[in-house]
Every structure is written in structure tokens, then in C-alpha cells.
Amino acid sequence: MGHKIVFSFSGQGSQKPLMGKDLYQQYPEARMVFEEVDQAVGYRLTDVIFDQNPSSLGNTFHAQPAIMAVSMACLRVIEKRVDTTYINKDNTFIGHSVGEYTALCAAGGMDLYSAAKLLSIRGACINRYQTKSTGMMALIGGNLADIEQMVVDLRKSKVDIFIANDNSPEQVVVSGLVENLHRAEEASSKYNIKKCIALRVGHAFHSPLVSEAAVAFQEESATEMSKISKPIGKFFSSSAVRFESNPVEIKKILLQQITAPILWRQSCLILFETYNRFIEMGPNNALTSLTKRCFIGDQIFCTNVSNVTDIDGFLSLRHHELSQ
């Protein structure tokens, strides 16, 4: 595609059994991605991904590098099919939560092996410090101000929840103890919230409840973090809400975002000023849907690439554009 593109990469919760299997079977460049990730994490993660039982893949230790593997496989296949690289100064790479690691890898700021290694360490640290029943819940409807007020009001009753993701004008995600999330759901209608949806994660990501894991990760990730370099493409952080090319600052962002909120809506509003093409690489279309909801109007193109059929559609569109 001749247009400047924002490539986006999803985080935990987007995983599903058998994701990427058709890519693995059909494209050698996809198999190379999966095999390198297996080497980095030290076991056959590919077998876990292609197992039809979703329970193993739901484990944070497996899910985080697995989502990255599928996302990078999609990107590598497309680059091979069009005989070009999208890693250039015109394109931007952004991730949601652990997708920030994938985005940095895709932008050329970190190699695939190191990205997989870091996500394996990250997942292990988070699992190790899971001492209470925690989780995350999407609140559909009420605006950010309403939800911020709910957080304040619940805290007066010693019920702590934390805003973890500001995803779109219609969706905010909160983290907390499971019992506190239930309390928030009971109170939600008072704050114009139409629906509450428990997410498929077993941790209170992007909140102080994972602070012990964040400390451990900082210590254990030092070797791989030192390998981060200046990205070739433009890396945009959805937790810091800015472009960043300084490796030292990128390292700080990745360490801090474990407990810091992801501000997807605000990030999209900045990117809309320059870009109108958003291509999500990964297991599902969660970010594609969120990005569309953040945009007012119809002058934006958003799509998801997750399987062989999607890749064929992407290549057909590119061929059509080049023939114009």
C-alpha cells in the first residue's frame, strides 16, 4: 500500500486456540517466526498455541509470547508476499498492553528472540506474584468522567478498583480484586454504564496490584532490555501516549506500563491527525473495532489480518491500489 500505515498489535485476551495455525502450515516465513519464539522461551510454545484446549493458552506465561508470535507471523508473511518491508520512517507501530513489545519488535527496535524472551519473563513474574483472586472488567457505556467518579465513590467505601484501559468513548476497563469488581458491577447502573463484561485474564493488569511483579520484572529483564535499540519505524506508546525513539525512554515505558493504564483512545486521537489507515496484525479484530469507535466520521480505513484469508484480502487490496 502506498499510504502511510499504522500497524497495531493486540494484548492479552485476544488469544484463542489454533490461532496462526493456517499461517504456520502454509507459509515458511510464519513457521520461522514460531520456531524462533519456541527457542527463545525454551519450550514448544507452538504446541500450546495449536492445542484445541483453551485452558493452557489462557495462562499469562504462554499467552503473552504466543500473541506476539502470531502477530509477527502475520507481518512477516505480508512483507514476504509484497517483497517489501513496512519498517520505515513513514509507518507507525503501536501496541495495546503487551502488544507494545510486538510493536517495538515490528518497528525494528528489538529482535524477535529478545521480544519473546522478555514476554516470557514478564508472564512468569506476573504469575509468580498472583496471591489473590484478581481480574479485569470492561465497562460499556458510561464516559470516562462517570467511571472516574465511580472509582472515587467506591474508594470511600474501601472498595478499590483501578482504571486500566481507556479504550474508546464507549469502553473503559477496570482492574481489581474479583470481589471489588463485583461491587463495581452492582453500582454500575448509577454511573450510566450499560454493561459489564469480565475479561479473559486472571490478573489485575495495569494497576498497583501487579506492582510486585513489576519490580521482579525490572530485575530479571535487564539483560534483554539492554538490547533495545532505536526503532527504524515510528514507535508510538499507548501507555505514554507519544512517539518515542530513545532506547532508554522506551525501556522505561515498558517497565512502567505493567502498572500504568493503557490510553488507547487518547493515542488514536493523536494518530488520526496524520494517519487514516490502521492495520491490526494479530489473532482477532479487537483493536480494529476500538479504533473505529474512536474516530468520528468515515474517512478512515481499519482492518485486521489474522489468517490466510485476511492476508489474501490484504494483498488483493494492495494490488488494486497499485493498479489505479
pLDDT-based confidence at 320, cuts 50/70/90?
low
Contact 202, 58 (CB under 8 A): yes
In what order do the strands lie in the sheet containing 161-168? 161-168, 171-177, 134-140, 195-198
Q: Tell me the pTM.
A: 0.94
Residues 265-292 pLDDT 10s? 999 999 999 998 999 999 989 999 999 9
What is the CATH topology of the domain spanning 6-129+209-323? Malonyl-Coenzyme A Acyl Carrier Protein; domain 2 (3.40.366)
Answer with the residue of higher pLDDT: 264 or 11: 264
Beta carbons of 305 and 78 less than 8 angstroms apart: yes
pLDDT above 80 for 87: no
Range of weakest confidence among 91-105, 120-134, 172-186: 120-134
- Cell numbers for 112: 524477535
Mean pLDDT over residues 230-242, rounded? 97
pLDDT of residue 319: 64
* Region(s) of the chain under CATH 3.30.70.250: 134-202
Enumerate residues 6+ apart whose C-beta is below 8 A from 10.
67, 71, 95, 96, 99, 280, 282, 283, 284, 286, 287
Task: Give the pLDDT score at 323.
Answer: 56
298/126: higher pLDDT: 126
Residue 261 DSSP label: P
Which of the 8 DSSP states describes residue 262? B
Model confidence over 47-81: pLDDT tens digits? 999 998 878 888 999 999 999 999 999 999 998 88
Do residues 20 and 69 make contact, with C-beta atoms less than 8 angstroms apart? yes
For 99, what's the count of Cα atoms within 13 Å in the CB-facing half-sphere?
Answer: 29
- Residues 32-55 have pLDDT tens digits of 999 999 999 999 999 999 998 878
Partner residues linked to 162 by β-bridges? 175
Chain mean pLDDT for the chain: 92
pLDDT number for residue 33: 98
Q: Can you list the positions of beta strands (E) in the chain?
A: 6-9, 92-95, 134-140, 161-168, 171-177, 195-198, 234-237, 242-243, 277-281, 301-305
Q: H or E stretch including 153?
A: helix 144-156
Nearest to 100 by CA among 57, 64, 138, 58: 64
Say how far apart CA 206 and CA 261 lie, in whole Å.
Answer: 5
- Return the sign of the alpha-carbon dihedral for residues 143, 296, 315, 96: negative
* pLDDT over 90 (residue 182): yes
Q: How many residues does the chain have?
A: 324
- State the CB neighbour count (10 A cutoff) for residue 137: 24
Name the DSSP letter for residue 189: G
Q: Which whole number is the average pLDDT over 121-146?
A: 91
Query: Can you tell me the distance from the alpha carbon of 141 to that of 98, in angstroms, rounded to the nearest whole number?
Result: 25
What's the pLDDT at 321?
Answer: 64
Q: What is the pLDDT of residue 1?
A: 43
The more confidently predicted of residues 163 and 90 is: 163
d(CA 80, CA 21): 18
Domain with CATH 3.40.366.10 in the chain: 6-129+209-323
Percent pLDDT > 90 in the chain is 81
Question: Band of the pLDDT at 312, cuts 50, 70, 90?
Answer: confident
Q: Are strands 134-140 and 195-198 parallel, antiparallel or unpaired?
A: antiparallel
Q: Choose which CATH entry (3.40.50.10540, 3.40.50.300, 3.30.930.10, 3.30.70.250) describes domain 134-202.
A: 3.30.70.250
What is the model's pLDDT at position 4?
Answer: 86
pLDDT at 146 > cutoff 70: yes
Average pLDDT over residues 195-205: 92
